[in-house]
Structure 1
């Protein structure tokens, strides 16, 4: 979700606070029959909405930091895997073992793991209900890259000829890197949960039909307009307060 949209949600809550303040200032005049827009109901809704904004503001930095740390950690992986495979090619390991390692390495790097199908093969796949494009697509999710990295390490561990002098290419170093990448990926996933929950609660409070903050704000405007009139100073106080709906 864009920073601009996040700011827009917060602006809705801030404008709602102003709306409640103006209505409070009308004193005994503000006495709607609709229970959902009484001052008590509006005050409770504002407090809940502000709490969700605070929860988001707390969860967002931890999430952003975890995502950034994961991106930094994964960035050198593809080049490292290329060095590992070249090192493996230089050994006396069997062609079959090398080919298997290369296939997994391509998955880690997001390269296509199969030869581009011929038109005849595409036709056959289509008749079988298979998508030729999807069948040869890259697997680039962090979970998949970690899973394939572990598979590659297991293969390298089983090859006696793979014993590079370069420390960073050795199985022990690769295993340590794998554990670090897995930990950073897990942390990024974990920090996403409270952020997602806070967003869900915020969105429900703001945009639920009829009972959400936006709909109630519009009802308040309509009530004040009926109470004092469209040209009244009271209505002019609140008519300019914007409440926007955002795609969620």
Structure 2
């Protein structure tokens, strides 16, 4: 397996785990000759490590799916916010005579449109966890800001005695329901990302810890086989080409 960015994706993690299973199979084939002193290198310990790593990978994939679904659901909840806010201001403009109130509404709408900021996309890949975390944090701030500005816009409407549109989607009650839905979807996403992030940490610990991780233990297994059978032995040649790519 090539040591590329893709090696740190879910596929790369799964490949490391699958390669451990291959390594265990070869070690079993050596019979009584495979008899390391170190507990972590014994067959039973390797099998436990394999099962634990597989479980952590599955948990991470499940949490990632929840996170992706929550991301899509939040995006859907916010999708029509910009045009809706503009419609609100226009509806207010034809009914409200207070210039300050209308000015406040326009100000919140301008912030909601985000004309001075480019659209923020949340990465679905974990190729660079630091970049992903930073991007998600920035995106979260953007969504929090949208919720706050939309809430302020609704407050302006609540203070206006003239604002009473016939359109159902522009009524204050409907807008309050939408705000509640936006907040709910945003909260669900926050929790989903927290769980996904924690699952990644737990998976990376069991796979890439410098002392007890799968990659390190596999390296030591190879070294043990090499010491027992020799560097040019067919046994060592069997396992020397089994690659374990350590996450940077």
TM-score by length of 1: 0.81
Cα deviation, residue 231, structure 1: 2.5
Structure-1 separation of matches of 2:90 and 2:82: 12
1:199-210 correspondence runs (5 A): 199-210=200-211
Structure-2 separation of matches of 1:2 and 1:102: 46
Contact 1:107–1:139 (CA<8 Å) still a contact in 2? no
Cα deviation, residue 104, structure 1: 1.9
Cα deviation, residue 11, structure 1: 1.0
Select between 191-200 and 70-79 the one with higher mean Cα deviation: 191-200
1:175 aligns with 2:176: yes
Q: Which residue of 2 aligns with 1:120?
A: none
Evaluate the alpha carbon distance shift between residue 106 and residue 139 of structure 1 in structure 2; reply closer, same or farther with a 3 A threshold. farther
Structure-1 separation of matches of 2:213 and 2:243: 15
Structure-1 separation of matches of 2:29 and 2:7: 33
Evaluate the alpha carbon distance shift between residue 213 and residue 155 of structure 1 in structure 2; reply closer, same or farther with a 3 A threshold. same
Q: Which residue of 1 aligns with 2:150?
A: 149
Q: Which residue of 2 aligns with 1:241?
A: 242
1:13 aligns with 2:17: yes
Select between 198-207 and 226-235 the one with higher mean Cα deviation: 226-235
Q: Which residue of 2 aligns with 1:184?
A: 185
Structure-1 separation of matches of 2:38 and 2:99: 78
Structure-1 separation of matches of 2:92 and 2:157: 8
Q: Structure 1: which 5+ runs fail to align?
A: 114-137
Cα deviation, residue 243, structure 1: 0.9
1:59 aligns with 2:63: yes
1:100 aligns with 2:101: no
Cα deviation, residue 78, structure 1: 0.8
TM-score by length of 2: 0.81
Structure-2 separation of matches of 1:198 and 1:11: 18
Q: Which residue of 1 aligns with 2:36?
A: 32
Contact 1:108–1:140 (CA<8 Å) still a contact in 2? no
Considering only CA atoms, is the larger Rg found in Structure 1 or Structure 2? Answer: 1
Q: Which residue of 2 aligns with 1:128?
A: none
Equivalenced residue count is: 224
Contact 2:6–2:12 (CA<8 Å) still a contact in 1? no
Q: 1:23-48 CA distances to partner (integer Å, 9 max, x unpaired)?
A: 12212111223333222322222121
Q: Structure 2: which 5+ runs fail to align?
A: 118-138
Contact 1:221–1:239 (CA<8 Å) still a contact in 2? yes
Contact 1:107–1:140 (CA<8 Å) still a contact in 2? no
Q: 1:189-235 CA distances to partner (integer Å, 9 max, x unpaired)?
A: 22223322221110111111121111111111121122212232211
Cα deviation, residue 112, structure 1: 4.2
